[in-house]
């Protein structure tokens, strides 16, 4: 009997990665249950927490910057699920290189899956950078080529990672897949960080400023997905990639994950409404601010990154996941309710 397929998951201490890990470990899918899963962490204390929950881990103190260590580690696995970040091109290349060193085992060809994001495809609503906002289905041809075109005009680290993943995978004959969610919301189920970033960040700023703020003109929209639905998509892609080597990969290996759509002004208005009712904010309506001020508040003055995250738009249709049996469960009503829940979480954290 051949040994089980071994999978290395990065990002187990993170919001998305921790939730994906929980999804895999609690799966009812026999394919997922047959995998031997190991997590990558930086600290012994994290490994101890995971060990107490019967989860195997490997420790790499320098983390993603230790590209030599990543390559050596990945060479011991059949499958790498890189959920730690999309903003570290070197780590993705190193992990794929490690899979190539291991090579095929029996009939199984190594697989690499990268967490990315739809901001790679977005256009700026303030500067207009990126041109016309296009609508993409993950069944469309040319997503990779579009990323290449955009990279030639202006580098964006997360998009650079995508390009490196596809090109390195092609060069080393490794099957690669890229999962691209929009805004990820909700409460995670990992053992460490269970909170999202962007909405709580806006709430904390609103409390500090006494009013909810958004980047003018507020028309930007990226869509959203609950972290549990995103984790379920990862599960579906992993399960199919394990048993189906013909699942289109590389340039055709993109999976979108959006299940709903919103504008940032709508989010800011909802924060204002909730905060006003809680007697925390002075105004029940959100206030527009310019890109420069927003960059100073949120991203250390980086206007390019601020526009990409909080003032840009993309339109994506998630279709391929449904073809694999993905069934997101979170409703639009739950999305609307999440801001009140997030507001209360921030207040609770502040009082502790």
Q: Which residues pair with 289 in a beta bridge?
A: 215
Token duo for residue 38: 């190991």
Burial-class residue 352 by CB neighbours within 10 Å (0-12, 13-18, 19+): exposed
Measured between alpha carbons, how far is 213 from 21 in angstroms, rounded to an integer? 34
Q: pLDDT by residue (tens digit) across 161-189? A: 999 999 999 999 999 999 999 999 999 99
* Superfamily the domain 6-189+223-256 falls into: NAD(P)-binding Rossmann-like Domain (3.40.50.720)
Whole-model pTM?
A: 0.96
Closest-CA residue to 215 (of 305, 83, 346): 305
In angstroms, the Cα distances linking 283 to 100, 185, 278, 306, 347 are: 57, 25, 11, 24, 18
Is the predicted pLDDT of residue 219 greater than 90, yes or no? no
Structure confidence at residue 330 (pLDDT) = 97
Structure confidence at residue 86 (pLDDT) = 97
Q: pLDDT by residue (tens digit) across 285-299? A: 999 999 999 999 998
Could you write out the three-class secondary structure of 286-345? CEEECHHHHHHHHCCCCHHHHHHHHCEECEEECCHHHHCCCCCCCCHHHHHHHHHHHHHH
Q: Are strands 287-289 and 315-317 parallel, antiparallel or unpaired?
A: unpaired
Token duo for residue 171: 């060069």
Instruction: Determine contact, residues 19/181, Cβ cutoff 8 Å.
Output: no
Give kind and range of the element (H or E) at residue 267.
helix 264-277
Structure confidence at residue 167 (pLDDT) = 99
Is the predicted pLDDT of residue 352 greater than 70, yes or no? no
Give residues with Cβ within 8 angstroms of 90, minimum separation 6.
64, 65, 67
Burial-class residue 284 by CB neighbours within 10 Å (0-12, 13-18, 19+): middle
Q: pLDDT by residue (tens digit) across 240-269? A: 999 999 999 999 999 999 999 999 999 999
3-state secondary structure of 106: coil
Domain ranges in the chain are 6-189+223-256, 198-221+261-312+330-346
Structure confidence at residue 28 (pLDDT) = 98
Q: pLDDT by residue (tens digit) across 121-139? A: 999 889 888 888 889 999 9
């Amino acid at each position: 009997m051949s040994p089980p397929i071994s999978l290395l998951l990065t990002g187990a201490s993170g919001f998305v990665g921790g939730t994906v890990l929980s999804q895999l470990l609690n799966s009812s899918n026999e394919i997922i249950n047959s995998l031997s899963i190991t997590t990558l962490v930086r600290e012994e204390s994290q490994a101890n927490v995971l060990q107490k929950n019967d989860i195997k881990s490997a420790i790499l103190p320098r983390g993603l910057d230790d590209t030599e260590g990543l390559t050596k580690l990945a060479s011991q696995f059949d499958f790498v699920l890189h959920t730690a970040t999309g903003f570290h091109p070197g780590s993705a290349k190193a992990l794929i290189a490690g899979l190539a060193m291991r090579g095929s085992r029996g009939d199984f060809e190594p697989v690499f899956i990268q967490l990315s994001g739809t901001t790679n495809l977005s256009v700026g609503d303030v500067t207009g950078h990126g041109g016309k906002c296009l609508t993409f289905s993950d069944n469309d041809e040319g997503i990779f080529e579009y990323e290449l075109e955009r990279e030639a005009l202006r580098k964006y680290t997360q998009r650079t990672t995508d390009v490196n993943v596809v090109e390195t995978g092609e060069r080393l004959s490794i099957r690669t897949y890229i999962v691209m969610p929009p805004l990820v919301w909700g409460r995670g189920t990992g053992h460490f960080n269970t909170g999202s970033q962007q909405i709580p960040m806006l709430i904390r700023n609103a409390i500090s400023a006494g009013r909810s703020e958004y980047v003018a003109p507020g028309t930007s929209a990226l869509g959203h997905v609950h972290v549990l639905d995103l984790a379920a998509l990862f599960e579906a892609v992993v399960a199919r990639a394990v048993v189906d080597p013909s699942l289109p990969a590389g340039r055709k290996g993109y999976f979108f994950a959006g299940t709903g759509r919103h504008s940032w002004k709508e989010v800011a208005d909802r924060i204002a409404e909730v905060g006003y009712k809680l007697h925390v904010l002075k105004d029940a309506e959100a206030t527009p601010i310019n890109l420069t001020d927003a960059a100073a508040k949120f991203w250390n003055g980086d206007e390019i990154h601020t526009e990409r995250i909080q003032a840009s738009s993309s339109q994506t249709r998630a279709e391929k996941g449904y073809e694999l049996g993905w069934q997101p469960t979170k409703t639009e009503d739950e999305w609307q309710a999440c801001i009140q829940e997030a507001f209360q979480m921030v207040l609770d954290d502040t009082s502790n």
